[in-house]
Chains A and B, each alone.
Chain A
C-alpha cells in the first residue's frame, strides 16, 4: 500500500514533467502547425545548461534560472534562424528538418561537453525527505518538482485562457490569416509561442537533471513519450496534454513497478520477468494505439483543425 502511494507520486511527478514537455510541443504544433522533433534537444540543452551553471555559480536556484533563460534564448534563436522557414510546409519537411537539428545539437553537445554525461548534484536542502503522512517519507526534491510543474501548468492555463496573449494564441490556432488581417504581427506571436515552448522544455530538462544523468540523446527518448502524450491528448490541446501526461506517467511508473508481480500470478517467474520488462515499456504505445483506433483525433482535439 505504501509502495503504491510512493509509486503513484513518482508517476505523478513523471507525468507532470512529461506535461511540461508536451505542453510546449502541442502549443507549437497546434498554433504553428510545426512538428518539432528538436524539442527534445531543447530539453537536453536545459539539462546541460543547468548542470554547467549550477556548478559555476554554486547555487542551485541561480544556476537553474540562468539555464532557463539560456534555453529560452536558444529556442528563440533557433526559431528565427532556422525553423520559421518551415512554416506552411509539409509535415515531412518539418520532420526531416528538425531531425537534422537533433543531429546538430547532439554533436554540438559532444563537442562542447564531451561524450560522457554530466551530473547535477542536489543541494543539501533539497536532498531531504518530507514526512507526508506519519510513516511515509517522500523525497523533497520530487515533491518540489510536482509543485513547480503544477504551478507552471496552472500559470500556463491562466495565460492561455485568461489573457489577451492567450486569446491571440487560441485565435491563431483556428485562423492565423485572420489574426494577421486584424493587425497582429503573427510572426512575433509565433516566436513568442516557440520561446514559451522552449522554456517549458528547458524547465523539464533542468528539473529532471538531478534525477537522471544528463547525457547526449536524452532528448530523443523522452520526445517520443511527449509525442505519444499529445497524440493521446489531442494535438493543440493543453488540457488534453495535461490529462494524457499524468495518465501516461502513472501508467508507465505504476505499470513498471507492479507488472512483474501481476504477471507472476499467471506466468512462471522467469517468463514473468522477461515479459514484464518488455510489456512495461510497451504499455504507453499500446495505450496510444488503442486511443488512435477508438478516437483518431485524440481525447480532446482542439478545434479549427
Chain B
C-alpha cells in the first residue's frame, strides 16, 4: 500500500496536538476556564478510547464493557482516599494493578467466545461490576463517592492546579500513544492485526492466539484504569454510572468516529464528539437527536471515521474499509 503524497491526517493531528499543548495559554489569556475543564475531560477520555482502540481497532475484539475499567480505576482511587490513603504513589499503582487483574480475569473467560457472544459476555461482566459497585453502600452505592482530596504526589505535582493536572493528563495521553505505536509496529502489533483479519490462519501458523489476545486485553484494561484514576481526580467523584454499558457505547463511538485502527483516531474522535456535544447543546437542548442519526450516517457512509475521510481527501483513493472481518460466527 503506497503512502499518499499528501496526508491531511498528519497535518490535522499535528495541529491538534499543538493546540492541545497551547490550550492553557489560551485559557490564561481569555480567562475561559471552562475550556480547560472540557479539554482535560477530552484528553482523559481520549486515553480511555485509545486503550479501547487497541483491542477494537487493531485487535478486532469488540468489548462492550470497557467503561468498567474507568470505574475500577476510579473506585480504587476513591476507596483508598476514603480510607485515608491519598498518596498518588500508592493509589495509582493500585488502580493499575487492580484494573490489570480484572482485565485478566474477564479476558480469560470472555476470550473463549467470539463474535456477538463475546460482545454479550463483556457486557455482562461490566454490568456485574456495575451492580457490585451500586451495592457498595459504604462507598455511596448508587449515589457515588465524593473524593475530597486528590491524589498527592509529595509536592512533585499539584493535581488541584488545573493547568498542572491538564498537562499531566496530556503527557500521559501522548506517552500512551507513543507506547501504543511502538507496540503496534512491533511483532506484537503485527500478530494482533493478523489475528483480526484471519484468526484461523494465525492459529494454523502456530501463534498462541489466545495468549496474544489476552495480553492485548490486559494492556487495554490497564490503560483504561489509568484513565479512570485521572477521571476520578478530575471530577472529584466516582459513581457506578461511569460503568453503565451505555458509557462503553460512548467510548466505542469515539473510536469509530475518529477512525478505528488509526493511532490518533480515538483522540480525534474524543475531540470531535465532546466538542460536537458542547456546540450542539448550545444550539439545542436536544442535541442527541442529531448525534444519533449522525452516528448511523457515519456507520453507513463514512465507515473509516474522520481519519478515513481525511485520508480519502489526501490521496483521492476511495477508502477501503479493512475493519472487522466476520471470520468467526
Is B131 among interface residues, defined by CB-CB distance under 8 A?
Answer: yes
Other than the given A86-B299, A281-B128, A285-B125, 6 more pairs (CB < 8 A) read A95-B252, A99-B249, A103-B288, A105-B292, A289-B109, A289-B121
Q: Once the chains bind, are B128 and A107 in contact (CB under 8 Å)?
A: no
Q: Once the chains bind, are B120 and A227 in contact (CB under 8 Å)?
A: yes
Taking CB atoms, residues of chain A closer than 8 Å to B117 are: 231, 292, 296
Is B68 among interface residues, defined by CB-CB distance under 8 A?
Answer: no
User: How many interface contacts (CB-CB < 8 Å) are there between A and B?
Assistant: 127
> Chain A's nearest CB lies how many Å from the CB of B169?
27
Q: Once the chains bind, are A100 and B286 in contact (CB under 8 Å)?
A: no
Q: Once the chains bind, are B299 and A93 in contact (CB under 8 Å)?
A: yes
**B292 contact from A107, A285, A289, Cβ within 8 A:** A107
A residues near B, CB below 8 A? 35, 82, 85-86, 90-93, 95-97, 99-108, 110-111, 220, 224, 227-228, 231, 235, 274-275, 277-278, 281-282, 285-286, 288-289, 292-293, 296, 305
> Chain A's nearest CB lies how many Å from the CB of B102?
14
In the bound complex, CA of A259 to CA of B134 (Å) = 17
Taking CB atoms, residues of chain B closer than 8 Å to A95 are: 62, 64, 119, 252
In the bound complex, CA of A90 to CA of B60 (Å) = 11
Is B294 among interface residues, defined by CB-CB distance under 8 A?
Answer: yes
In the bound complex, CA of A107 to CA of B112 (Å) = 37
**B134 contact from A111, A231, A281, A305, Cβ within 8 A:** A281
Taking CB atoms, residues of chain A closer than 8 Å to B128 are: 281-282, 285-286
Taking CB atoms, residues of chain B closer than 8 Å to A90 are: 323-326
User: With A278-B135, A285-B124 in contact, is A99–B116 under 8 Å at CB?
Assistant: no
Q: Once the chains bind, are B116 and A108 in contact (CB under 8 Å)?
A: no
Q: Once the chains bind, are B323 and A102 in contact (CB under 8 Å)?
A: no
Q: Once the chains bind, are A96 and B135 in contact (CB under 8 Å)?
A: no
Q: Once the chains bind, are B286 and A110 in contact (CB under 8 Å)?
A: yes
User: With A97-B296, A224-B123, A274-B137 in contact, is A111–B289 under 8 Å at CB?
Assistant: yes
Q: Once the chains bind, are A282 and B120 in contact (CB under 8 Å)?
A: no
Taking CB atoms, residues of chain A closer than 8 Å to B134 are: 277-278, 281
Which of B121, B245, B293, B296 has the most chain A CB within a 10 Å cutoff? B296
> Chain B's nearest CB lies how many Å from the CB of A114?
11
B residues near A, CB below 8 A? 62, 64, 109, 112-113, 115-117, 119-121, 123-125, 127-128, 131-132, 134-137, 245-246, 249, 252-253, 256, 286-289, 291-296, 298-300, 303, 323-326, 329
| Closest 5 pairs (CB-CB, A-B) | A104-B292, A100-B295, A278-B135, A103-B292, A281-B131
Taking CB atoms, residues of chain B closer than 8 Å to A286 are: 128
Ordered by A's residue number, 20 sampled pairs between the chains whose C-beta atoms are within 8 Å are A35-B116, A90-B326, A91-B62, A91-B115, A91-B326, A92-B323, A97-B295, A100-B293, A100-B295, A100-B299, A107-B286, A220-B246, A227-B120, A235-B116, A274-B137, A278-B134, A282-B128, A289-B125, A292-B113, A293-B109
Which of A93, A96, A111 has the most chain B CB within a 10 Å cutoff? A96
Taking CB atoms, residues of chain A closer than 8 Å to B119 are: 91, 95
Q: Once the chains bind, are A107 and B253 in contact (CB under 8 Å)?
A: no
Residue of B nearest to A100 (CB): B295
In the bound complex, CA of A200 to CA of B269 (Å) = 36
Residue of A nearest to B118 (CB): A292
Q: Once the chains bind, are B120 and A104 in contact (CB under 8 Å)?
A: no
In the bound complex, CA of A227 to CA of B113 (Å) = 16
In the bound complex, CA of A170 to CA of B120 (Å) = 24
**A100 contact from B116, B125, B137, B294, Cβ within 8 A:** B294
Residue of A nearest to B250 (CB): A99
Which of B115, B136, B246 has the most chain A CB within a 10 Å cutoff? B246
> Chain A's nearest CB lies how many Å from the CB of B37?
24
Taking CB atoms, residues of chain B closer than 8 Å to A278 are: 131-132, 134-136
In the bound complex, CA of A256 to CA of B289 (Å) = 36
In the bound complex, CA of A293 to CA of B113 (Å) = 8
Q: Once the chains bind, are B115 and A104 in contact (CB under 8 Å)?
A: no
Taking CB atoms, residues of chain B closer than 8 Å to A288 are: 120-121, 124
Taking CB atoms, residues of chain A closer than 8 Å to B329 are: 305
In the bound complex, CA of A286 to CA of B62 (Å) = 20
User: With A97-B295, A97-B296 in contact, is A104–B288 under 8 Å at CB?
Assistant: yes
Residue of B nearest to A99 (CB): B249
> Chain A's nearest CB lies how many Å from the CB of B258?
13
In the bound complex, CA of A235 to CA of B124 (Å) = 17
Residue of B nearest to A285 (CB): B124
Q: Once the chains bind, are A277 and B135 in contact (CB under 8 Å)?
A: yes
In the bound complex, CA of A286 to CA of B288 (Å) = 33
Q: Once the chains bind, are B120 and A231 in contact (CB under 8 Å)?
A: yes
